[in-house]
Amino acid sequence: MIISMMENATEEQIAHVIARVEELGYKPQVTRGEEKTIVAAVGTGRRDELEALSAAPGVERLIPIAHPFKLVARQGRTARTVVSVGGVRIGGEDIVMIAGPCSVESRDQLFQTAHAVRDAGASMLRGGAYKPRTSPYEFQGLGLDALKLLREASDETGLPVVTEVLGTDDVDLVAEYADMLQIGARNMQNFSLLRRVAKCSRPVMLKRGPSATVKEWMLAAEYLIAGGNPNIVLCERGVKSWDPETRNLFDLASLALARQLSHLPVIADPSHGTGRRDLIPVMSRAAIAAGADGIMVEVHPCPERALSDGPQSLEPQQFAELVRDLFTPARKLAAPLPRIAPNSYRTAAERTLGD
């Protein structure tokens, strides 16, 4: 942290800041310029108290150098983290496809979807048992019955399963049935849930809150790692915007930034990110280009009958096409490479000669 003193700061004020920096466990390094003095607080100490120095007399402002999310930050690390979920590696060389219904609605619906997505190439299954719904009158999920079905479908297909845990009371139960716990967007800053899930041995997918800044998202992940759970995967799922044409603003710049700032794997969820099934293929390609370690999409055997998120759910056949388009080399090569527009610069002589 750099503490920049005001131009008219007195010697006494500077000495006070230096003493306080030492008291808080940092090494002060003082640079006296012609106009002002700056004090660098080097090392680690009581950061929150250091931040309070912005209120000390003679202090102009504090300029942070290191990120406040030390355990999540990529700074100072050579390797990215790979999170293993029931043998599936997220954050390694391969792009992980996670697919399944928004909500588990019945045995038939789940098993049909699980087999279809497995056959199409998915490496993990998703499905909601406890649903965070805007209205209390909407389908809330089948709870424990859904957890049991998810476990059975996972065992039968061999796909590890991720499902959302809504509250602290359900953590042990969900962890008993699921291979990975999802902390949903609406709960990203539910600090008691973060602290509770940090104590759990299952890997966690932490979705970005609908109005969370990237820094808040990183700090939510910091709660999990600081609390004892290092197996965290971030998930960009879009943020609130003003435009009702898309459900959310799928923020791929923040996905790319999250991968720059953090060593954790980052998954993209274009289903919630756009709310529109027609945009999922193109936005999946864009997410991979932006560095996503995987894609999570909603798939339903009959989206028009889905109890939640039908409009953004792919039919199994559409999911198979998506996987084929994303990963089949022949198809990839067949797609034309983008062409660069010809540079129209011509010298004055060329311009007089005309075309």
Q: 141 touches which of Mn ion, ligand PEP, none (CB within 5 to 8 A by kind)?
A: none
Give the x-and-dash track for 166-205 against ligand PEP (CB under 6 A).
------------------xxx-------------------
Which residue lies nearer to ligand PEP by CB, 50 or 164? 164
Does residue 102 belong to the site contacting Mn ion (CB under 5 A)? yes
Q: At what angle do helices 191-198 and 214-226 cross, to 10 degrees?
A: 40
Cβ contact 109:251 at 8 Å: no
Question: How far, rounded to the nearest angstrom, does the alpha carbon of residue 175 sit from its chain's CA centroid?
Answer: 21
Does residue 132 belong to the site contacting ligand PEP (CB under 6 A)? yes
Degrees, nearest 5: CA angle 314-317-319: 50
Give the x-and-dash track for 96-115 against ligand PEP (CB under 6 A).
------x-------------
Q: 185 touches which of Mn ion, ligand PEP, none (CB within 5 to 8 A by kind)?
A: ligand PEP
298, amino acid identity: E
Rounded to an integer, what distance in angstroms lies between the CA atom of residue 129 and that of residue 167? 12
Q: 266 touches which of Mn ion, ligand PEP, none (CB within 5 to 8 A by kind)?
A: none
Rounded to an integer, what distance in angstroms lies between the CA atom of residue 75 and that of residue 261? 7
Select from 20, 202, 207, 247 the one that contacts ligand PEP (CB under 6 A).
207
Shortest reach from residue 123's CB to Mn ion, in Å: 20
Select from 174, 229, 309, 323 the one that contacts Mn ion (CB under 5 A).
309
Shortest reach from residue 314's CB to Mn ion, in Å: 12
Shortest reach from residue 128's CB to Mn ion, in Å: 7
Residue nearest to ligand PEP (CB): 184
Shortest reach from residue 314's CB to ligand PEP, in Å: 14
Cβ contact 206:218 at 8 Å: no
Cβ contact 70:43 at 8 Å: no
Which residue lies nearer to Mn ion by CB, 222 or 236? 236
Rounded to an integer, what distance in angstroms lies between the CA atom of residue 225 and that of residue 309? 31
Rounded to an integer, what distance in angstroms lies between the CA atom of residue 292 and that of residue 281? 14
Q: Look up residue 73 and give its DSSP letter.
A: B
Cβ contact 283:317 at 8 Å: no
Give the x-and-dash track for 245-284 against ligand PEP (CB under 6 A).
---------------------------x------------
Q: How many CB atoms lie within 10 A of CB 217?
A: 27
Which residue lies nearer to ligand PEP by CB, 269 or 293? 269
Q: What are φ and ψ of residue 124, in 5° steps?
A: -140, 155
Shortest reach from residue 128's CB to ligand PEP, in Å: 5
Q: What are φ and ψ of residue 62, in 5° steps?
A: -110, 135
Rounded to an integer, what distance in angstroms lies between the CA atom of residue 309 and that of residue 153? 21
Is the Cα torsion angle 223, 228, 230, 233 positive or negative in sign? negative
Select from 237, 247, 259, 300 the one that contacts ligand PEP (CB under 6 A).
237
Which residue lies nearer to ligand PEP by CB, 86 or 132? 132
Residue where the block lists tokens 């198809």: 331
Residue nearest to Mn ion (CB): 102
Shortest reach from residue 30's CB to ligand PEP, in Å: 48
Which residue lies nearer to Mn ion by CB, 14 or 102? 102
Degrees, nearest 5: CA angle 40-44-50: 60
Does residue 128 belong to the site contacting ligand PEP (CB under 6 A)? yes
Residue where the block lists tokens 């424990």: 144
Shortest reach from residue 44's CB to Mn ion, in Å: 41
Which residue lies nearer to Mn ion by CB, 185 or 193? 185
Q: Which positions lie near ligand PEP, rule CB under 6 A?
A: 102, 128, 132, 184-186, 207, 237, 272
Q: Which positions lie near Mn ion, rule CB under 5 A?
A: 102, 309
